[in-house]
Amino acid sequence: MLKKKLYNFNSDIWSWTQLQDVLTTSIGGTPSKSISSYWDNGNIPWINSGALKNLVISEPSNFITEDGLMNSSARLFPKNTVLVALTGATLGKVGLLNFECCTNQSVTGIYPSKHINPKFLFYYFIYIRDQLINKATGAAQPHINKGIIDNTVIPIAPIEHQNVVAETLSTVLNKVADVEDKLMKIESLENKAFESFIFNDKELHPEIPLQTFCEQRDEKIGKNWRNKRLIGVSKETGITDLRITKAKTYEKYKIVKSGDFIYNPMRVNIGSVAIYEGDEIALTSPDYVVFQVNNNLSKMLLLKFLKSDWGLKQINNNTRGSVRSRLYFSYLGKITIPYSGDRNQQKAEKILNGFSTMRQQTLILKNDLNTIISQTFENCFKKNNYDDIKYGKAGKEIVKLMIIEKKEQMNTKKKATIKTSTMKSVKTVEIFSLLDFVKKIYKQRRFTFESLYTSSNRSYETLKEDVFELLDKDLLLEFDEKELKMYLKIKVK
């Protein structure tokens, strides 16, 4: 009932099943950073979860050695593995491996299947990221575990349908990537233009205090506040609308005119400053600072300067306050700006304003494309748009084949070795031998990690990672520590 409600597909053609029923997953691992032989001169690709940005991954974050691979829980994922980040800022983000690679323990890898187009699965996990985030636990650092990935319900469609989805989404996402590249180029050119007005060859132009060019606007609106726009400022979007408060009157709010600068004195140190360009008078909070700039200094040049590393450094040096630092207007005036002379200001204004316009237009295009992407994802995964596409095997048939494929993989995994193109030797997969050891020796008694470590020939870190993997798979039973004593001398073979 739930599946029919969520997914408008013919259940015979598109089937829905838990990922763990048809695909194999594993968690990555990190060799000890304190052992240089695990990292120095390494040639085995390795990435951390920060590399997962909802993109195809084409280069590693680092390299580990054969020694590092053999003596840790790191494993080499094959090309076309879909990676999912489990924690941190990238929680729920995915990557598609374009080469064989290891990952850290904050990543779950979904091994490829000959029955699944890897981009189809990759895009599906992009689509459901919010669902994964909603399942996160932990206040300090929200996280999910491999079990959540394993229990995720995924679509199994005819390969012909998968290919259509992958091609459709690739096309629209490539357009977004092109727009993002354009934004980066605009920003790069804008920065070069800005620096040309700040530097004289490699030296900064003479620095002039901002009080030479700026005058505070502290006029209150009074009784004429009705029907006026209330504005604030953010680092990302510039001028924003203030949230309407329960105040009965806005008489004490400050007047903001077109061309005025406005900033929040407690957030200007992160770049929250903007120029108001509206045609009508606006109002802002009495806590905000409003000022105007005379014609001897380019407004766009000043705005770019205040958001630059040079400007932010001076802002931080001039903030005052014991609880929350503020940049008062009097201290803003003490900040110095490299000044290339009156004649260059008009030129700077024209050039920088041109770049600003291009950037805003490109951002609008990007936002429009993001809307299209959202609609395209909905169409691909929630609407039946494939009735006219001929297909070979239906979803139900493919599920059966994938279950057989997974069983074969698991049987092979118990005895197999991990081979890499960069290594002449191999690493034996030991996690299942640990499970066999636990079952054989301890049966259904309880044990502590320390006592297991005493009776194991693994390193502390390796044993810990292997036990966590088994716990994540719900393969370990609990044992009694008291019953362990007779087994302390037994070693894993």
When pLDDT is averaged across residues 202-213 and rounded to a whole number, the result is: 92
Whether 293 contacts 263, CB under 8 Å: no
pLDDT at 487 over 70: no
pLDDT band at 306 (very low <50, low <70, confident <90, very high): very high
Write phi, then psi, for 456 (nearest 5 degrees).
Answer: -115, 150
pLDDT at 439 over 70: no
pLDDT single digits (tens) 355-375: 999 988 998 888 888 888 888
Q: Rounded to an integer, what distance in angstroms lies between the CA atom of residue 18 and that of residue 24?
A: 11
Give residue 42's identity as a one-letter amino acid code.
G
- Structural domains of the chain in order of their starting residue, each with its CATH number: 2-158+391-418 (3.90.220.20), 207-339 (3.90.220.20), 430-487 (no CATH)
Write phi, then psi, for 8 (nearest 5 degrees).
Answer: -90, 65
pLDDT at 12: 62
Question: Which residues is 96 bridged to in the sheet?
Answer: 56, 82
**Which tokens in the block code for residue 443?**
């049966």
Q: Rounded to an integer, what distance in angstroms lies between the CA atom of residue 263 and that of residue 274?
A: 7
> What mean pLDDT is reported for the chain?
81
When pLDDT is averaged across residues 295-316 and rounded to a whole number, the result is: 94
pLDDT at 86: 93
pLDDT at 469: 60
Which one is predicted more confidently, 489 or 145?
145
Q: Listing from the earlier edge strand, what are the strands of the sheet with 214-216?
A: 214-216, 289-293, 261-263, 273-275
| Segments in 135-231 forming alpha helices (H) | 146-150, 159-198
Q: Rounded to an integer, what distance in angstroms lies between the CA atom of residue 249 and that of residue 226?
A: 9
**Sign of torsion over alpha carbons 138, 139, 140, 144:** positive
Q: Which of 14-23, 34-43, 408-417, 440-449 has the lowest mean pLDDT?
A: 440-449
pLDDT at 486: 40
Q: Rounded to an integer, what distance in angstroms lies between the CA atom of residue 105 and that of residue 144?
A: 12
Whether 149 contacts 94, CB under 8 Å: no
Residues 6 or more apart in contact with residue 452 via CB below 8 angstroms: 438, 463, 467
Q: Which of 7-16, 97-106, 212-221, 483-492 has the lowest mean pLDDT?
A: 483-492
pLDDT band at 328 (very low <50, low <70, confident <90, very high): very high
pLDDT at 323: 75
Q: Rounded to an integer, what distance in angstroms lies between the CA atom of residue 38 and that of residue 239?
A: 50
Most confident of 84-93, 240-249, 383-392: 84-93
pLDDT band at 4 (very low <50, low <70, confident <90, very high): very low
